[in-house]
Amino acid sequence: MLLPVQRRHGNSPIMKATPPELAALAIMLAALAGYVDAIAWLSMAGFFASFMSGNTTRLGVSLASGELPRATIALALILSFIAGVIGSSVVAHRFAARHEPSVMLLVTGLLVGAAIAGSMAPPGLVLVLLAAAMGAENGVFQREGEVSIGLTYVTGTFVRLGQRIAAALIGGGRWDWLPHLALVIGFAAGAVMGAHQQLTHGFAALWWAAAAAAGLTLLAAILTRRR
């Protein structure tokens, strides 16, 4: 499967295809994001680890209704997500030749920290660590300092899915929409697994996320070495 990536050169968008093995890695990372987001949402009554649009809405609603504790949580999650993005960008710049496994190592560390905190810390701290991990995950696929494949914001993927379907209907690439659909399905499948594990095991389900991230770190390292 080839995952189209939009880059810009001047004012003209250039579509580049991601190799199939990296496309598969992207889908698995989207599933990891869905898994983590489902755990966060169920554990914190409607707050998210990766969906910052939802947290921004919660922030606005909470401020309007005078629910300052909820507004504080939403703001903390947004800032933590941004911190994760910053951290992954710094790591990707420092280890440019092997930035995929390097960023994934950061993601894994944050998820391990969240899993440990899940047994001894308030839920809010766990969710802050999860938001940082999801922000960092978006730095796995970067080109020229910009995110080339969004892994945690499914709304953007739905927009690109609709655009590619429209393009196919008017004579564009017939199957260019499939990679975007695969990302959405991956995220949704991860959310199903995360919800099931959280309802069964609570925050202990985060250990599965940490283990999956470690495995994906190893896979990213192997793919980087081959490249």
The whole-number pLDDT of residue 147 equals 67
pLDDT digits (tens, 9 = 90+) for 12-48: 332 346 778 888 999 999 999 999 999 999 988 789 9
> Side-chain half-sphere of 18: how many Cα atoms within 13 Å?
23
Q: Give the contacts of 120 (CB within 8 A, at least 6 positions apart).
A: none
pLDDT digits (tens, 9 = 90+) for 146-199: 666 778 878 888 898 999 999 999 988 888 899 899 999 999 999 999 999 999
Percent of the chain with pLDDT over 70: 90
Q: What is the CATH number of domain 3-226?
A: 1.20.1250
Percent of the chain with pLDDT over 90: 65
Instruction: Using the predicted structure, report yes or no on whether residue 207 has a pLDDT greater than 90.
Output: yes
Q: What is the DSSP string of 69-83?
A: HHHHHHHHHHHHHHH
pTM above 0.85, yes or no: yes
Alpha-carbon gap, residue 84 to 106, rounded angstroms: 9
The whole-number pLDDT of residue 11 equals 34
Q: Give the contacts of 159 (CB within 8 A, at least 6 positions apart).
A: none
Reference 5, options 109, 114, 142; nearest CA is 142
**pLDDT confidence of 124, banded at 50, 70, 90?**
confident
